[in-house]
Structure formats: C-alpha cells, structure tokens
Structure 1
Amino acid sequence: GGESNPASSSVKSSNSGTSADSSAGNSSSSSESALEPCDAEEEGETKRVLATGVRYICKNGFWVEVESSSSVSSSSYFDMTEQFNPDVKYGDFTDPRDGKKYRTVELKNGVFMESYTVFAENLNYGKMISGGSVQEDSTKYCYDDDPWYCENGWGGLYTWSRAMNFPAVCDSFSVASEKCPNKFNLESDNEEFNGKYYFVQHQGICPEGWHIMNENEWVEISEKSRRDVAYYMGSKVAGFGSNNYGLSILPAGYWQLGKFDQIKLSAGFYLPQQHNSNEIAGRAVYVEKNFFERSGGASKIHALSIRCVKNY
C-alpha cells in the first residue's frame, strides 16, 4: 500500500482540519470505549493490523489509532545510540551485494571453537515487501511494514525458506522432497562436524563466505553468557542487558499468525535445520529476558531475524 513514510518531516501536519477533526465530537467517545487495552511494558510501542493497515500506539494502557499521515512520530522510535558496546573492539564488513556495512565481533575461547566472527547486528538484505506477502528472492519484511526498523539495526525478518535461500514452496513441504528438492550439505573436513546439522555451515541468504548461525554457535554463546544470553549478549537499546561481549542482540520481534509481534520482548533466529517432527516448521532459537530456548520451532512462514557467522 501507499503508506506514508513514518520518518517523514510532515509529522505535525495531520491537525489541519481534516474530516476526522470535525466529527471528533461524537465519534471519539464511542471509539474510546472500544479501545483494546495494552500492558504497561508496551507503552509507546506501535503495532499495525495487517488486515486493515491501521497502525496503533500503546498510550496510557490502550491501543490508540495513529493518524496515518503522522504514522509514528520519530520520537517514538528507539534511541539507537547504545546499540553497541563502546568498550568492545568491532570489525567491519561490507556486503558486496548491496554495499551495506555491518559491525562484526570476534567471540573467543568457546567449547568447540577457539574463536569465530559474527555479525554484531541482524542481517538486513533484500527489498522490503509487506508482511504476509510471499517472500521471493531478495525480499524481507520490516517490523510493522516500516523500513525504519530494517535500516536502523533491527534488520530484516525472513521466512524459513527465504533465510535458507530455498524456494518458497519449502515452507510448505519437507526439504529433500519431490516438491522441495533442496537440502543441506552436512559434509565437513572437520571429522567432529561432518554429517551433523548441529555444525552445518549453510550460507542461506548470508553473504558469500558467511553462513547462518548454527546450533553449535548459539550453544557457544549460551555457555559464554552463563545461559543468560539476553543479559550478556543483549543490546542496551531496549533494555535487554549489559552487552558485555558486544553481540548486541535486539528484541526485534517477529511476524507470526498474520501480524508483527513481540518487539522489545523477544528475539527469534532461524537455525539451518528443519524441525525433526514437523516438516512445515523450522528450528529456531529464542532470546528473551531470563529465557533462552535453543531448540524451539516456528512455522516456516513465520518471519524471524538472521545472524551470519564467518566460515571457518
């Protein structure tokens, strides 16, 4: 749709005597009684109902409709100044496909690995399409269908097949099947890694020379952070934690069941694996305050975040 850019400068222009203004006298009371309540911790957050395209903001305990021309004023976005840890030495990587720059961080002294290099931000590759549309090659969702989130550190949200760089049909059928012939290459020169999903280095939509963070790498992160991943690895931006190691995980939410949800509360990341018992689900890792789930699942059509790791 032709939604106006929320970051546009015309934020205040919505009060210039629109028809909504004139009829506000009688309609506001009736619409107020129908407002949906929201929780205190959601105050200031926004959500968009996909069926109608209407955007709401949580104000004083209720979801209030936001004027479309003002969408969300930039002041209600997150302040990203503390996204990274100033005491951590970061590297830089430029994705040759689109010129986007990412900070990287080296994590050392792991259980299986001496060190490995990870994106310190979520992947943001592809052209934004609206939530619920089929993700073809080089596409992504942005939270709330708002490019601000993609472009300001929160990154894109990808269905399982898109993240794996498989055809969209693989969201509905098992890998290595007639409909979805794609499969993972589990071969490795490292005898310990060979043949195991746990260690697979699958490029997916990561740049050449990088792969989607696998289960072993997430376990290394969990062990390093004494299993409190949100605290030790989480960015300070949305109150996740101390970001000791600089990984700067953000609770970027996801797209599921027809809507964008859980921003500021949860981060979900697809693993390069299909769910063992359900062929239309992908394996995923979830990070929340005081909670880390390394073997979760998500319907493959749900859209989660992606972190890339340098091949080793």
Structure 2
Amino acid sequence: MVLSKKILLIGLIGAIGVQTSCSSHEFDNPNDPRYNPASGSGSSSSYGSSSSSGSSSSSNAAGSSSSSALRECDEVFNPNNKFCYDGAVYDLCDGMAYNPTTHICSGSTAVRALCSGAQYNPLIQDCCNNSAILKATHFCSGATIYAKCNGAEYDPATTGCCNNATFIISTHFCSGTTVYAKCGGEEYNPGMQFCSGTTVYDKCGGTVEYAPTTEACCGSGKYTLSTQYCSNGIVMAYGTISDGVRSYKTVVIGTQTWMAENLNYAASGSKCGDGSSLSDGNTATCDTYGRLYNWATAMRFASACNSQTVASCGATIAPQHRGVCPEGWHIPSDAEWTTLTTYIGGADTGGTKLKAASGWNSYSGIPLGTDVYGFAALPGGYGNGNYGGSFGSAGVGGYWWSATEYYDASYAYGRFMFYNHEYVSRNYNDKTFEHSVRCVRDN
C-alpha cells in the first residue's frame, strides 16, 4: 500500500511538470514576446522536469532548454498556467510564455514594454508617467515618481520620507535631514524659527531662541522682560521710580527719561474703568492700564481749572509741572511729547514703535506694536465725567494728557494712539475727560 502511494505521487508530479517545448529556432523575431535575447530564440511555453531533489526545474521561458545563461527555477510549478524565466516563475499570458525582460502581459496579450516609446526592462524597471524608473530605488504613486524610503515603498498621501525614515505628514514635517513635529498644525523653518506651545516665533537674529512669556528679541539677541528693555536694538536695564506706593519702570529715549508704565497713583478725583462706567473702588482695570485723570486732577489744580472761565489756572503752570507725578518728575508738555515722537522717526509711524507688543486689539493690515524703545504704551481708554462717568475704548485707544492748554482754556493738548492706526495723534480734548498720564523726568 505504501509503495502504491509513492508511485501515484511520482506519476502526479510528472503529469503536472512535463510539457513538450517548441523548436529552439521557432521564434527568431526579436519583436516576438517569446524571443530570448540570451539565445536568440524563443519557446511558446516552459517545461519542468524532476530534479534530483524532487523539485521542478525548467528551461528559460522564452528560449531553448539548452541556454546556460539563465537560471533554473527551484520551485514546483504547473506549466499549464505558469512558466519559468531565469530562476523566477511567472503567469502565462493567455497560455503563452513571454520574455519578461522585454514584454509585459497587458490583459491577455504579451506586448513589448515601452515607456514613452523607449524599451525598458519590466523586471527591474517600471514606467511612471512616461518615465522609466528603477524598481530597486523608486516607485510610482499616481503619476508621480518617489524615491523609496530605506528601500521600501510608502503611501505619499499620508506618509513622508526623511533621511530614510518615514513620518506621518499630518503631524510632522521634514527639514533637511530631521523630522520635526508641526507647530499648531503648521510647518516652519527650524533654521530661522522655533515653536513654543502652538505658536511659531522668529529666532532673534535668525539664530537665538527665547522664552516668549519672559523674554523678547532685541536686535540679534534677547533680553528679560521684567528687568530689561530694548531701545532701538540695544538692551538696557529698566530704571525705577516710586510714587510712594508703587514702583514704576523707566526708560531712556534720546535725551528724555520716561515712565514705561501708565501712572497708577490714586490721587483724589482719579478713576478706574469698570465695564462701561468709571469707578472709584474697582481697580482691576487700573492694575493693567493705570488710573485715569481729568486734566485738573492730573495737574493738581482745582476742578474749576477744567473750565475756560478760570483764566488764572494757565498762569500757574510751571515749566516742568509736577502735578500727580512723583517728585523729580512732571507732566510732559506738548513740546516734550513732540521731542519724543521726533526722536523715534516721526509721528506717522510712532504709534507702532511706542505701543506695547501686547495688550492692544488687533486690526487687519495694521502691524501690532513693536515697542522698539521700551515705552510700552497701553490702551487704557478714556472716561467722560460729563455723561454720568462713562468709560470706553480700553484695548482700543490710549489717551495721554500734556501740561499745555489749548487756546480755548477748556481744552488741553494730548497724544492719542489707536489699535487701527500706526500714527501718534497730536490733538486736544475737553479737560473734563479722563485720560492716562505718563510722567517724564525733570532735566
């Protein structure tokens, strides 16, 4: 019984593996898919024979069995639907073997492998968008040629390759030979920029990173916001001045020394914004923007000096009028404000240079404050005591008094900045309005 099974198995292998071949010179036309460039001839099919090890061997698919240039196949195959060529097994094309180095099976027809009219070798090449590519190093996706990543193909729709390593393109990107996580979903230039949280920042001078919450750029370097300021590209240490209750930072701009904060001295008659009205007790807005003063309060005059009917008030304005400022400091005159804006390049773009880099509302097309000189102007808004103590424009506009009266003594000059304009406006306003105060040091 065991002997009968062995005879049956050998007979089955022979039935599958043996098939007659065509004459070695039956296909001598090089354009015929069965043409074998190694021997100059072709065969219509391959055949197998049992080797000493029991596996099937074959002649080359497109040539005679006598060709020594091509390797035999080690695996067993059925010559009714497959053929062997140079050590590899292929499917017949409509029952016919063909030369896989020159032809491909298109549908049920073996056709010559042409790429943009030029012959290519389908065993080692592909045709991608009319360009022949090497399978060992490249692959085709859609109509685009990609280099393999560490020798492997990948899906370009979801994956990228960087220095022979794949990465997910929805969350990462490649710069040079390094993979970086996206910043807030966006790519950036790691050579010139860095990511903090979900925000991209420019490096100082294109090379220096900094901590955006505590540091900022000054020229090509960085400085500490709490103790230093940048004055036209030069890092300077803040000075300090006290009003007896609070200390204020000070900055040198040209020949002048200014407070770098709005005054928050609780003089009698000063107010804080509270929603849409003015308040004496709710100091939250004042803690950010400083207090608001009508002109007479800022000058330490009687409230009657807000009216043009009191002509004697103007006569008592000192050249460096202290008002509510700390000792050794004074309310800037209209001329001193002009000195400031002239030094920084003029009033037309002075607002952008004097505004703090944060704390202002944004407006399309208008740059945010650059605070080039450390002045850090903040938009404290204004109050109107004539209309029930209304308050508005915090975050939108900043208004600062000068010590100089307008020709109509019920008005005084000041400087105004707005979130949607780059300039510093020289204007006058009713003395009864509440504005911010910046003090300048006495000469």
Which entry has the higher C-alpha Rg, 1 or 2?
2
* Counterpart-to-counterpart distance in 2, 1:174 and 1:160: 15
Higher relative contact order (CA 8 A, sep 6+): 1
CA displacement at 1:291 relative to structure 2 = 2.9
CA distance in 2, matches of 1:282, 1:118: 20
Query: Among 237, 241, 246, which residue is 2:369 paired with?
Result: 241
Question: Quick check: 1:301 aligned with 2:436?
Answer: no
| Aligned AA (2:248) | Y
Per the alignment, residue 316 of structure 2 pairs with 183
SS at match of 1:290: coil
Output the TM-score relative to the length of structure 1: 0.58
Q: CA deviation at 1:290?
A: 2.0
8 Å contact from structure 1 (residues 90, 104) kept in 2? no
Aligned to 1:64: none
Q: 1:205/1:212 Cα in 2 relative to 1: closer, same or farther (>3 Å)?
A: same
Contact 2:333 2:402 in 1 (8 A): yes
Distance 1:206 1:175, change over 3 A: farther
Give the deviation of 1:224 after TM superposition.
2.8
More strand by share: 2
Which aligned pairs between 1:134-153 and structure 2 lie closer than 5 A? 138-144=268-274, 145=279, 146-152=282-288
Change (3 A) 1:267 1:181: closer
Residue 107 of structure 1, CA deviation:
0.8
Q: Which letter does structure 1 place at the counterpart of 2:326?
A: P
Structure 2 residue identity aligned to 1:183? T
Unmatched segments (≥5 aa) in structure 1: 1-78, 109-114, 127-136, 186-199
3-state SS of paired residue (2:335): helix
* Aligned partner of residue 223 in structure 1, secondary structure: helix
The code of the aligned residue for 2:412 comes to: G
Paired residue secondary structure (2:352): helix
Superposed CA RMSD in Å reads 2.5
Q: Distance in 2 between matches of 1:213 and 1:204?
A: 10
Q: Give 3-state SS (helix, strand or coil) of 2:339's partner.
A: helix
Alignment of 1:41-56 (within 5 A): none
Percentage of identical aligned residues: 28
Q: Quick one: distance in 2 between partners of 1:280 and 1:219?
A: 22
Looking at structure 2, the residues matched to 233 and 141 of structure 1 have their Cα atoms a distance apart, in angstroms, of 24
Contact 1:80 1:237 in 2 (8 A): no
Displacement, 1:172?
A: 2.3
Say if 1:80 and 1:163 are closer, same or farther in 2 by CA, change over 3 A: farther
Q: Using structure 2 for the length normalisation, give the TM-score.
A: 0.41
1:211 aligns with 2:357: no
In 2: Cα distance, 1:181 partner to 1:225 partner: 30
Q: Is the 8 A contact 1:123 1:305 kept in 2?
A: yes
The equivalences for 1:236-275 within 5 A come to 236-239=357-360, 240-256=368-384, 257=387, 258-275=389-406
Look up the SS of the partner of 2:435 in the other structure.
Answer: coil
Offset, 1:183: 1.8
Secondary structure, counterpart of 1:140 in structure 2? coil
CA distance in 2, matches of 1:175, 1:273: 15
Equivalent position to 1:107, from 221, 228, 253: 253
Looking at structure 1, the residues matched to 258 and 437 of structure 2 have their Cα atoms a distance apart, in angstroms, of 11
Which segments of 5 or more consecutive residues in structure 2 lack a partner in the other structure? 1-212, 217-224, 361-367
Give CA-to-partner distance per residue, 1:83-108, whole Å, 9 cap, x none.
Answer: 8775442433242532x110000012
Runs of 4+, deviation exceeding 3 Å: 79-88, 173-177
1:169 to 304, 315, 330: 304
